Each structure stands twice: as structure tokens, then as C-alpha cells.
């Protein structure tokens, strides 16, 4: 376990990824990268349009750079710190403060990874640095300000339950000021509560509860302990989120049913639908029969500008 200080100035314990799991994740990514490189090299060498050897070599070098550097940068940026290998092993790259990995950090890790793993050193700098660093950081993590953590615990932690005595109070909460990061910090405290010593429980609980209470209202009833307070807040937040998602699904289902009913009742309209051409013909005949309009000529409409605006007459 290791401690990180979040953006809310709260100390949270995280599970640092061990060297064997990181090595296995790297091996999975390494095999995937080599597979892509071999396929690209075969395609370039067999391309009939490439008769220039220099162009073929340049393309192979370009593919090599894109795969060795772009592969980890793209995956870790799009998935917030997870390459396919890390996803398979339940690992994630996060910032030193516990926040999600940013593009700049992924780029630093990708460039440093090229020097660490794709040069004749073949991982020696990364191995030595990881063994010497207390958090198991390789050079790319040191430069980027990141850390690799394990997200898989002994089992899935159930969501916090609402204390019955606080249910009516929690229903009146204004939770719009509660950020996702602070909610995650509170949940982390609840998950680790049984593993903390009593003094640490009290200290961290008061600190996290103080951060949360500064962003929501109204305050809890007197005498509520931090654990029950945070559990009530997170349980109410989860209940409202589930209700919101259920409402969205219900509205979508109602809209689909309404659209299907309208289509079955009225049928499609247009030139290609039954009755569409007859309707257009009747409209044209009515215009031709209007007074002052020569038969066979359509009436002139009002002048329009290029933007579609109809000026008053």
C-alpha cells in the first residue's frame, strides 16, 4: 500500500502494482506491438506499388515509431491509463495525486518507454529504477509524475448502504457541488475503514467529511459520525444517479414506442409512399386553378435572399 495526496488535499491509500504483474502486462503489450510491426512489414514488402527500397525502409521506420511510441500513448490517453496488457492484469496508470493520467504524462511515458525497452538496454533501466524506487516507478513514471496501481482487490466492494436514520435527511441534500474525485475519495475511505487504526479512522474521517460538507447542504443532524455521514451522502448520490439513468432509459423506450406507433398508424409520407404522388398532384391542380394564374404555369413565389429569408411585401 502507498499513500497519495489528492487534489482535495486528502491522503488516500492505493495499492501499488507489483513488479511481476507489471512485467506480465508489459509482455502482453510487447507481443501485441511486435505482431502489428510484423504485419506492417509484410504488407510494405509485398506492396507492388512500392518499387523504391528507400521508401519501403522509410515506411517501416515510420510504422516502428508509431507502434512503439504511439501504441502506449494512444491507449493510455483514450482509456485513462490502461493499455491492453494493463487491462488484462487489472492495472492502471494514474497521476501522483491519484487523478487520471493526462496526454502529456502518457507522452512522457511513451517516449521514455522507447528508450527503456526498445533499445539495446531492453528494460534494464526500467528494472533497476523500479527496484530502487519505493513506489516501483520506472524512468517514464519518474519523468511523467505517474504511478501504476492495481485496481483488482480481493473482491468487488458493495456500494455503501444508507443508514436508515439518515434517509430522510439525505433526500434533501444538494449534491451538485460534490465532484467525482471527492466522491471517489470518500468511497475509498469507506472501503479502507476496517483496515485503518482507530486514530487514523478518526483523523481521515473528519478530514474527508469536512471536505464533503463544505460542498453540499444542508449539514447533517448533530452527533452523526463521519462514517455514517459519508455513507449516507454516497448512497443518496448513487440512488439519484440510478434514478436519472432509469428515467433516460424509460424516455428512450417511450420515444421508440411512440415512433413505431405513428409509423404504423399514419404510414410513411413522401413521393415514394402510397398517396404521396396523388397529394402532390392535387396541390398542383389547386394552384393552377387559382384566379389570375395561367393554366399550366405555377404561381411565382415571393422573392427570397440567398440565406432563405423572405422579405415582407
Residues 82 and 208 in one domain: no
Residue 312, domain member (yes or no): no
Q: Residues 55-61: contacts with CB within 8 Å, 24+ apart?
A: none
Domain match, 110 and 212 both? no
**125/203 same-domain check:** no
- Regarding whether 24 and 90 lie in a shared domain, the answer is yes
251 within a domain of the structure (yes/no): no
Same domain, 195 and 130: no
Last residue of a domain, one of 195, 228, 244: 244
Per the structure, the count of domains in the chain is 2
User: Does the model's pTM come out above 0.85?
Assistant: no
Show the domain range for 197: 164-244
Q: Is 238 in contact with 175 (CB distance < 8 Å)? A: no
Q: 84 and 36, same structural domain? A: yes
pLDDT by position in tens, the chain (length 313): 555 545 444 455 567 888 899 999 999 999 999 999 999 888 877 775 656 777 778 888 888 889 999 999 999 999 989 999 999 999 999 888 777 899 999 999 999 999 998 888 888 889 999 999 888 899 999 999 999 988 765 445 577 889 999 999 999 999 999 988 898 889 888 888 887 888 888 899 999 999 999 999 999 999 999 999 999 999 999 999 888 888 888 888 888 888 887 777 766 554 444 544 554 455 555 555 555 545 545 445 444 343 333 333 3
CB 228 within 8 A of CB 154: no
Q: Are residues 43 and 170 in the same domain?
A: no
Based on the domain organization, do 15 and 127 belong to the same domain?
yes
Domain endpoint, select from 244, 271, 298: 244
For residues 80-90, one letter each, b for 16 or more C-beta atoms within 10 angstroms of the residue's C-beta and e for the rest, the string is ebbbbbbbebb
Is the Cα dihedral 72, 75, 77, 81 positive or negative? negative
Identify the domain boundary among 221, 244, 267. 244
Which residues in 76-209 belong to E strands, given as ranges?
Answer: 91-95, 146-150
Residues 13 and 139 in one domain: yes
- Grid cell 533501466 in the structure block, residue: 125
Is residue 49 located within the same domain as residue 113? Answer: yes
Amino acid at each position: 500500500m502507498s499513500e497519495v495526496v489528492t487534489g482535495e488535499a486528502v491522503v488516500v491509500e492505493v495499492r501499488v502494482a507489483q513488479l511481476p504483474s507489471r512485467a506480465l502486462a508489459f509482455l502482453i503489450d510487447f507481443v501485441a506491438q511486435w505482431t502489428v510491426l510484423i504485419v506492417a512489414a509484410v504488407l510494405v514488402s509485398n506492396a507492388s506499388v512500392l518499387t523504391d527500397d528507400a521508401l519501403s525502409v522509410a515506411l517501416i521506420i515510420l510504422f516502428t515509431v508509431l507502434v512503439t511510441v504511439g501504441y502506449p500513448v494512444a491507449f493510455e490517453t483514450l482509456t485513462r491509463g490502461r493499455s491492453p496488457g494493463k487491462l488484462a492484469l487489472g492495472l492502471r496508470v494514474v497521476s501522483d495525486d491519484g487523478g487520471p493520467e493526462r496526454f502529456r504524462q502518457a507522452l512522457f511515458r511513451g517516449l521514455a518507454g522507447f528508450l527503456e525497452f526498445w533499445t539495446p538496454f531492453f528494460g534494464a533501466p526500467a528494472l533497476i529504477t523500479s527496484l530502487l524506487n519505493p513506489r516501483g516507478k520506472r524512468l517514464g513514471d519518474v519523468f511523467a509524475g505517474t504511478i501504476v496501481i492495481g485496481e483488482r482487490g480481493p473482491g468487488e466492494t458493495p456500494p455503501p448502504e444508507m443508514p436508515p436514520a439518515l434517509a430522510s435527511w439525505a433526500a434533501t441534500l444538494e449534491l451538485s457541488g460534490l465532484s467525482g474525485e471527492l466522491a471517489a475519495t470518500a468511497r475509498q475511505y469507506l472501503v479502507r475503514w476496517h483496515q485503518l487504526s482507530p486514530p487514523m479512522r478518526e483523523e481521515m474521517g473528519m478530514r474527508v467529511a469536512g471536505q464533503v460538507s463544505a460542498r453540499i447542504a444542508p449539514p447533517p443532524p448533530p452527533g452523526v459520525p463521519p462514517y455514517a455521514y459519508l455513507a449516507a451522502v454516497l448512497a443518496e448520490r448513487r440512488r439519484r444517479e440510478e434514478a436519472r439513468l432509469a428515467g433516460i432509459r424509460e424516455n428512450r423506450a417511450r420515444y421508440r414506442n411512440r415512433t413505431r406507433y405513428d409509423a404504423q398508424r399514419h404510414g410513411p409520407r413522401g413521393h415514394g409512399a402510397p398517396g404521396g404522388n396523388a397529394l402532390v398532384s392535387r396541390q398542383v391542380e389547386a394552384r393552377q386553378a387559382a384566379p389570375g394564374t395561367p393554366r399550366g404555369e405555377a404561381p411565382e413565389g415571393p422573392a427570397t435572399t440567398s440565406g432563405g429569408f423572405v422579405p415582407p411585401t
